[in-house]
Amino acid sequence: MVTATALEAQLLELAGSVPDPELPVLTLRELGVVRAVRMDGPDTVEVELTPTYTGCPAIEAMSVDIEQVLRAHGMRHVTVRTVLAPAWSTDDITPEGRRKLQEFGIAPPRVQQTSGPVELALGPTRTQDTEAEPVRCPHCGSADTELLSRFSSTACKALRRCLVCREPFDHFKEL
């Protein structure tokens, strides 16, 4: 494993400070999608970016925003490379990112931290939950919530409703 230089660490911090185009309350670092920055010359840099899912439409906007930030800090040649392995997981969202999602009114994903094969079991209908850990309402904190739709404003979020305060809310799905 190659150790990053001080400049690479600084550029990684700059690339990570870019707001997510779909969830501007989060930075790309908090979302966990900026993987690495590598200098290829005195003013040439390559950034590794992993999308939240393969067809993520925001990847192009993320790349352009990263290029602009790094060029503004003296890098003449910036390449943003999409890296699919290892795949992004919602476990990559930082604790700060989870806190910001909650404050923004989006239930953060539950932490999974699984390794190896994932067991798949077919089960209840699409609106029933069988998760061990409930999805809590970001408005009142109640665990008494229901799934309304597996998809919300973006493919990475589901639409839920709190059965206590009756407010609908987005839930960032676990991947």
Superfamily of domain 6-82: Fe-S cluster assembly (FSCA) (3.30.300.130)
Give long-range contacts, CB 8 A cutoff, 24+ apart: 158-161: 160/107, 160/135
For CATH 3.30.300.130, the residue range(s) in the chain are: 6-82
**Is the per-residue pLDDT at 115 higher than 70?**
no
pLDDT average, residue stretch 37-50: 94
Look up the pTM and report it: 0.76
Short-list 79, 24, 23, 6, CA closest to 49:
79
- Tens-digit pLDDT profile for residues 46-94: 999 999 988 888 999 999 999 999 999 999 999 999 999 999 999 999 9
**Is the per-residue pLDDT at 4 higher than 80?**
no
Give, in degrees to the nearest 5, the angle at Cα 87 between 28 and 17: 10
pLDDT-based confidence at residue 126 (cuts at 50, 70, 90): very low
pLDDT average, residue stretch 143-159: 89
pLDDT average, residue stretch 3-32: 94
